[in-house]
Structure 1
Amino acid sequence: MRIRILGSAAGGGFPQWNCNCDNCRGVREGSIAAKPRNQSSIAISANNEDWVLFNASPDIRAQIESFPALQPARAHRDTAIAAILLVDAQIDHTTGLLLLREHTKPWDVYCTAAVKEDLTTGFPIFNILEHFRGVNWHPVATDETPFTMPQAAGIEFTAVPLKSEAPPYSPHRHNTVPGDNIGVRVRDLSTGKNLFYAPGLGEIDEHIEHYMRDADCVLVDGTLWTDDEMIRGGFSNKRGIDMGHLDQSGDGGIVERLRRLDRPRKVLIHINNTNPILNEQSAQRQLLHDAGIEVAEDGMEITL
């Protein structure tokens, strides 16, 4: 099973268009060791022909252009993207659907009922797409029953409800329901190896840790280094936990929880532009290195 990191940044990308934080200014000037990043998305295939797109980033056009495997090659207009799976209804994970409106047939989109509700009401992307080719919605259950997709041979998926946060336009904001946010276990049916993918993760309980411990690779939330990072920087009045993101460095944070895991490869994704781990020479990046934790970057590939 082949996993391609199309985008590794949080919403806004890196550098963010209107941000003058140390990281964004440094990467623009070339004064820090850091790489620009698109907004978070990955693609997975078990046969190198049919790819499942996980989340449709606003940067999807650039991401397709950076990865020939997804580009048209079999007809005048086509793509190797066979289906799309959405883990939430956030802007940075769904806006790219609008940019894919020229598809020659309805997109097969897999998401929970809660996400579909948001994408037909508060952020009605599905409704807009009905004026083009439309969407074939495939409901994703939240009872953790494994499922397959006819468009993605050789792969099994398990949706795992997460404790995170719904988008600001959701009726479930601050009162989340199962399905507002999911992690996904993606298992290669031929090898048995699996990835646990969770770019938005507000809490790691024993149940979630079980999935992480059982994985061959975990690709999880790397949004913020500290819970008050945005507040201290003067960029927002919200803590990480208010936005549904568990910080990395605090007691019980993601770094501490990942250190407990012996088996999986550990990779952080969905990294906010203010996070010091983007600077490859920072003390925080060295701490991750010493803990055996990697930082995803655009174009990274993982094979399981």
Structure 2
Amino acid sequence: MHIRVLGSAAGGGFPQWNCNCSNCAAVRQGDPALTARTQSSIAVSRNGQDWLLVNASPDILAQVRAMPELQPARALRDSGIVAVLLMDAQIDHVTGLLMLRERRTALPLYATPQVLDELNTSLPLVRVLSHYAGVEAHLLSLTEPDFAVPGLEDIRFTVIPLSSNAPPFSPRRDAPLPGDNIGVVIEDIQSGQRLLYAPGLGRMEPAVAQAMATADVVLVDGTCWRNDEMQALGLSDKTAADMGHLAQSGPGGMIEVLAALPKRTRKILIHINNTNPILRSDSPERAALTAAGIEVAWDGMAITLGSSNG
């Protein structure tokens, strides 16, 4: 089973277009300790040719250009993207759907009823796409969480509800319902190896802890180093928790959570905000992660689990 990180940054990417924080300024100036990143998304395949996108970033066109496998050229008009799975309705996870509008057939789209409701009302992308090839909606259930995606045989997907927040444009902002945010366990059925993908994780709960404990790889929320990071820089009045993200440092933070996992577990942070000091490869914060056995995802990062064909 192949997993590819298409984008590793949080909303706005890195550098963010209008941000002059020390990280964004330095990466524009070519600081070798920093690497530009697109907004977070991953792709999953069994055979290396047919791929499921997990979230559709606004940067999808650049991500496709950077990954030739997503454009295998088997026909005059062709794509390796067989379907899209959405973790939430956040702008940085769904607006790439608009860039996939030229398909000849409806795009299979896997999402919870809450997310599809947002994409039909508050942010009506499904309605807009109906004027093109449209989408073929597949509803995800929290009560029957296992599902399969045609074209990705021998891979099992399992929905995990997450405590985070609904998008700012949602009527459920600051009062999210189960299903507004999910993670997914991706399992290679033949080997039994599993990856947990949870880019928006605001609070640890038993289902998440269980999924982490049984995963071979956890690819999880790395948005902020400190809970008050954005406030301390004068960039926002909201904490990481307010935005639906569990900070890395401090009691109960992501570092502490990941430290409790089995030593065999590979631990990787994704969805990294432009303000986060872990973006610098030479920062004390990055050194602390390395000492804790935690990696920082990067655009193009490849992960292989179990036996893969292709």
| TM-score category of the 2 structures, normalised to the smaller one | over 0.9
Name the CA distance, whole Å, in 1 between partners of 2:266 and 2:114. Answer: 31
Aligned runs of 1:54-203 on 2, under 5 Å? 54-143=54-143, 145-203=145-203
- Between the aligned residues of both structures, percent identity stands at 56
Name the CA distance, whole Å, in 2 between partners of 1:189 and 1:47. Answer: 14
Would the aligned equivalents of 2:145 and 2:160 in 1 still touch at CA under 8 Å?
A: no
Deviation at 1:144, TM superposition (A): 5.1
Query: Aligned AA for 2:2?
Result: R
Query: Aligned AA for 1:69?
Result: E
Give 2:210's aligned residue.
Answer: 210
Q: Could you list the runs of 5+ residues in structure 1 that have no partner in the other structure? A: none
Cα deviations by residue, 1:247-267 (Å, 9 ceiling, x for unpaired): 000210101100111131000
Query: Aligned AA for 1:2?
Result: H
Give 2:51's aligned residue.
Answer: 51
Give 1:26's aligned residue.
Answer: 26
Name the CA distance, whole Å, in 2 between partners of 1:143 and 1:293. Answer: 32
Give 2:223's aligned residue.
Answer: 223
Would the aligned equivalents of 1:78 and 1:104 in 2 still touch at CA under 8 Å?
A: no
Deviation at 1:84, TM superposition (A): 0.5
Query: Aligned AA for 2:209?
Result: E
Name the CA distance, whole Å, in 2 between partners of 1:144 and 1:252. Answer: 30
Distance 1:295 1:147, change over 3 A: same
Aligned-partner SS, 2:4: strand
Deviation at 1:207, TM superposition (A): 2.4
Q: Does 1:286 align with 2:257?
A: no
Name the CA distance, whole Å, in 2 between partners of 1:63 and 1:131. Answer: 25
Would the aligned equivalents of 2:2 and 2:48 in 1 still touch at CA under 8 Å?
A: yes
The farther-off stretch of 151-160 and 107-116 is 151-160
Name the CA distance, whole Å, in 2 between partners of 1:2 and 1:67. Answer: 13
The farther-off stretch of 17-26 and 67-76 is 67-76
Would the aligned equivalents of 1:144 and 1:160 in 2 still touch at CA under 8 Å?
A: no
Cα deviations by residue, 1:103-146 (Å, 9 ceiling, x for unpaired): 11110000000000000111000000001010000001012531
Aligned-partner SS, 2:77: coil
Aligned-partner SS, 1:96: helix
Query: Aligned AA for 1:183?
Result: G
Q: Could you list the runs of 5+ residues in structure 2 that have no partner in the other structure? A: 306-310
Cα deviations by residue, 1:59-100 (Å, 9 ceiling, x for unpaired): 000000000100141111110111100000000000000011
The farther-off stretch of 264-273 and 22-31 is 22-31
Deviation at 1:174, TM superposition (A): 1.1
Give 2:308's aligned residue.
Answer: none
Deviation at 1:151, TM superposition (A): 3.0
Would the aligned equivalents of 1:15 and 1:27 in 2 still touch at CA under 8 Å?
A: yes
Deviation at 1:30, TM superposition (A): 2.0
Would the aligned equivalents of 1:108 and 1:135 in 2 still touch at CA under 8 Å?
A: yes
Query: Aligned AA for 2:217?
Result: C
Name the CA distance, whole Å, in 2 between partners of 1:243 and 1:104. Answer: 37
Would the aligned equivalents of 2:49 and 2:72 in 1 still touch at CA under 8 Å?
A: no
Name the CA distance, whole Å, in 2 between partners of 1:172 and 1:178. Answer: 11
Query: Aligned AA for 1:291?
Result: A
Name the CA distance, whole Å, in 2 between partners of 1:195 and 1:157. Answer: 10
Query: Aligned AA for 2:252?
Result: G
Query: Aligned AA for 1:273?
Result: N
Give 1:300's aligned residue.
Answer: 301
In the superposition, the TM-score normalised over structure 2's length comes to 0.96
Aligned-partner SS, 1:24: helix
Cα deviations by residue, 1:34-59 (Å, 9 ceiling, x for unpaired): 11000000000111121110000000
Would the aligned equivalents of 1:224 and 1:247 in 2 still touch at CA under 8 Å?
A: yes
Would the aligned equivalents of 1:193 and 1:215 in 2 still touch at CA under 8 Å?
A: yes
Cα deviations by residue, 1:191-248 (Å, 9 ceiling, x for unpaired): 1111000000001123211110100000000000001100110111111111000100
